[in-house]
Chains A and B, each alone.
Chain A
């Protein structure tokens, strides 16, 4: 009998599965090495580098106007907000005074970006849990925002609308009307989201109590954005360090204490309502003025170091510039929210099932080019 037990082949062993780089629910080229015991996850090890483009190194050879364009290619769902971060940082270094018109437009477009990102996240979240219909509902509403962007700056995904010192173009004459139309449309459609997913029994069972992240863990892993706020960590940059027009508007920072997948889900849904309220406050009050402050064609920053953080749809996005007085930065570092949020995945997923891992990844709202840069 002992011989049989000692037989290595008969012992139940942990086994490994490569989830990705080609897998439907890693949403990109993320590779997760899972240690599994049956279907229960013992360890998740993310492997990065499949979409590394050395953006930070490229920035050391680009002028500041070009750096803005590179940030589109990181978190492509919050591209406008990424652009804004670099512009704010450069403007801070140049001590440029930005007119209110630019600030307000940046805020409105930033919130539209957040909305469109959350809509896509919502659709994909449903798809990850097996409800494919939500994917198309999300995209249907996102289409309206993308159309607004297309009319404003000619692009639908990588917008490059911001420049250090202002905006590439002034807003389109239709912009206000179309934005208001969208808000009116989406206010009717957002409750549909609740009907389809939030109030569904299966959906609630799949997300409640899954992937718990405590406030302490969220802070220690550097998790930010809706993911951290669902754990009760108040970290909204818009609230704590207002930039652009956020000091002029009234909005709530959505906080929850549950820290599970459902709390993160609710947080993002509530953020959509808040974003709409921010846009509503600003859309009729866009001040007159220039859309651009004149800057030199090639901007040279003075010697020094600057840091600017903004709140993207995923969390805190930071730009750290060290300048030696040249036209390119000596060193530039992006603090991307996705990277820190991903680091908490192993902690959250241990002991869960494969299906739960998919739900957890969904609520982390990962964008892989943002993690890899």
Chain B
């Protein structure tokens, strides 16, 4: 059962068994294909699980049952929806820019895939471990906005265009807050490498070790990342009561499913980054110096810790979505530029000061 605690055993044994039979170049290609396959499966599973979770969570918030008919407790509902979406006719507007219209959903999907590649799921379970991992993720995850802008622009629909423009303004603004709140913790870790950030939390998570600035940064991250994923109360790009469905009004069938999937994948990615940076990633709940307690905590495999924390953050984001009304576009930008950004900058200075004086744990 060692592999459950340290995936290095598993990956090394796979690598060695491959190296015995294949050339080194072939081994690399096979391993890349395997990793790609894993991510595709993960992506599909995330879609199935998160859509179901969203519907159930919203149902419980709204005092109803949610999907109950397809499968036990409605668990196969998402699968049924996927089949429905696959069989739908992909409609394209007569005057739409066909090339860009078809390209847009793929750009969003690619951005999600690229971001997911460098997430540390457990010890040794990480496809890409850059020394600039955090920078890479925040750079790649903001590529998705290009897809949204293209979708809105090429649809030949004014509602889509308004939605896309809103989304552009929103994501570019909130990217700043996400980046800066993550930097607040980077000040403490001194590294952008995600595996190092996780290792540095072996004696306590940064949200506990980093005093008030870490908590402030976490709250800002939670708000800004919700905005960056275009989810309620920041779902202005969709805003179904104003813009019918915003940037994906004209999409149907599989391409719509891509937008839908990407939204949930992005939510997962953002929650995973939050969990990794603030809540210790796959690191079990440790308290510095309490050896016995830490050993007990180590019995729970890292994968469970990681997905537990991520689910908690995703639940928070669903909670926001099903409680708050939507903001208006000018209020959204005011919130970012007049409140979050100044607070964030002050917070970083404070954190740098704390770190310099060595006042954190």
Task: Say yes or no for B46: interface residue by CB 8 A criterion.
Answer: no
Known pairs A25-B242, A127-B241; A197 contacts B63 (CB<8 A): no
Task: With both chains docked as a complex, state the minimum distance between the C-beta of A364 and any C-beta of chain B, in angstroms.
Answer: 15
Tell me the nearest residue of chain A to B328, going by C-beta: A355
A136 to B63, CA, bound (A): 8
Tell me the nearest residue of chain B to A361, going by C-beta: B241
Q: Which of A24, A126, A136 contacts B240 (CB under 8 A)?
A: A24
**Contact code string B317-359 (vs A, CB < 8 Å = 1, else 0):** 0000011111111110000000000000000000000000000
Contact count A vs B, C-beta below 8 Å: 79
Residues of A within 8 A of B232 (CB): 130
List A176-213 residues whose CB lies under 8 Å from chain B. 196-197, 200, 202-203, 205-206
Task: With both chains docked as a complex, state the minimum distance between the C-beta of A96 and any C-beta of chain B, in angstroms.
Answer: 46
Task: Say yes or no for A270: interface residue by CB 8 A criterion.
Answer: no
A353 and B325 form a contact (CB under 8 A):
no
A133 and B61 form a contact (CB under 8 A):
yes
Known pairs A39-B162, A354-B243, A358-B242; A136 contacts B62 (CB<8 A): yes
List B212-253 residues whose CB lies under 8 Å from chain A. 232-233, 235-236, 239-244
**Contact code string A101-141 (vs B, CB < 8 Å = 1, else 0):** 00000000000000000000000001111111100110010
Residues of B within 8 A of A297 (CB): none
Task: Say yes or no for A17: interface residue by CB 8 A criterion.
Answer: yes
What is the total number of residues of chain B having a CB less than 8 Å from a CB of chain A? 29
Task: Say yes or no for B158: interface residue by CB 8 A criterion.
Answer: yes
A202 and B327 form a contact (CB under 8 A):
yes
A355 and B242 form a contact (CB under 8 A):
yes
Residues of A within 8 A of B244 (CB): 23-24
B162 and A197 form a contact (CB under 8 A):
no
Task: Say yes or no for A356: interface residue by CB 8 A criterion.
Answer: yes
Task: With both chains docked as a complex, state the minimum distance between the C-beta of B179 and any C-beta of chain A, in angstroms.
Answer: 24
A129 to B159, CA, bound (A): 17
List A1-36 residues whose CB lies under 8 Å from chain B. 15, 17, 23-25
B241 and A126 form a contact (CB under 8 A):
no
Known pairs A136-B63, A136-B64; A358 contacts B241 (CB<8 A): yes
Known pairs A17-B159, A136-B64, A354-B162; A130 contacts B329 (CB<8 A): no
A354 and B158 form a contact (CB under 8 A):
no
B62 and A129 form a contact (CB under 8 A):
no
Residues of B within 8 A of A17 (CB): 158-159
B241 and A24 form a contact (CB under 8 A):
yes
B328 and A131 form a contact (CB under 8 A):
no
Known pairs A17-B158, A136-B64; A197 contacts B325 (CB<8 A): yes
Task: With both chains docked as a complex, state the minimum distance between the C-beta of A88 and any C-beta of chain B, in angstroms.
Answer: 37
Residues of B within 8 A of A202 (CB): 233, 324-327, 331
Among A23, A129, A130, A355, find the residue whose CB has the most chain B CB atoms closer than 10 A: A130
Known pairs A15-B158, A133-B61; A25 contacts B325 (CB<8 A): no
Residues of B within 8 A of A127 (CB): 241
Q: Which of A126, A130, A132 contacts B239 (CB under 8 A)?
A: A130
A129 and B241 form a contact (CB under 8 A):
yes
Tell me the nearest residue of chain B to A127, going by C-beta: B241
Q: Which of A24, A136, A137, A203 contacts B325 (CB under 8 A)?
A: A203
B328 and A356 form a contact (CB under 8 A):
yes
Q: Which of B240, B323, B326, B328 contacts A353 (CB under 8 A)?
A: B328
Tell me the nearest residue of chain A to B334, going by C-beta: A205
A34 to B300, CA, bound (A): 58
A197 to B324, CA, bound (A): 8
Residues of B within 8 A of A24 (CB): 240-241, 244
B64 and A129 form a contact (CB under 8 A):
no
Residues of B within 8 A of A196 (CB): 323
Task: With both chains docked as a complex, state the minimum distance between the C-beta of A266 and any C-beta of chain B, in angstroms.
Answer: 16
List A199-257 residues whose CB lies under 8 Å from chain B. 200, 202-203, 205-206
A353 to B242, CA, bound (A): 10
B324 and A131 form a contact (CB under 8 A):
yes
A131 to B329, CA, bound (A): 16
Residues of B within 8 A of A131 (CB): 233, 323-326
Known pairs A17-B158, A25-B242; A140 contacts B63 (CB<8 A): yes
18 pairs, A vs B, C-beta closer than 8 Å: A15-B158, A23-B244, A126-B325, A130-B235, A130-B324, A131-B323, A133-B322, A137-B62, A137-B63, A140-B63, A202-B233, A205-B331, A206-B325, A354-B162, A354-B242, A354-B243, A355-B236, A355-B328
Known: A136-B63, A202-B324, A356-B328. 6 other contacts (CB 8 A): A128-B241, A130-B235, A200-B325, A202-B326, A205-B328, A353-B329
Q: What are the 10 A-B residue pairs with the smallest beta carbon separation, nearest first?
A: A130-B326, A129-B325, A136-B62, A131-B325, A25-B241, A355-B328, A128-B241, A130-B325, A203-B325, A202-B325
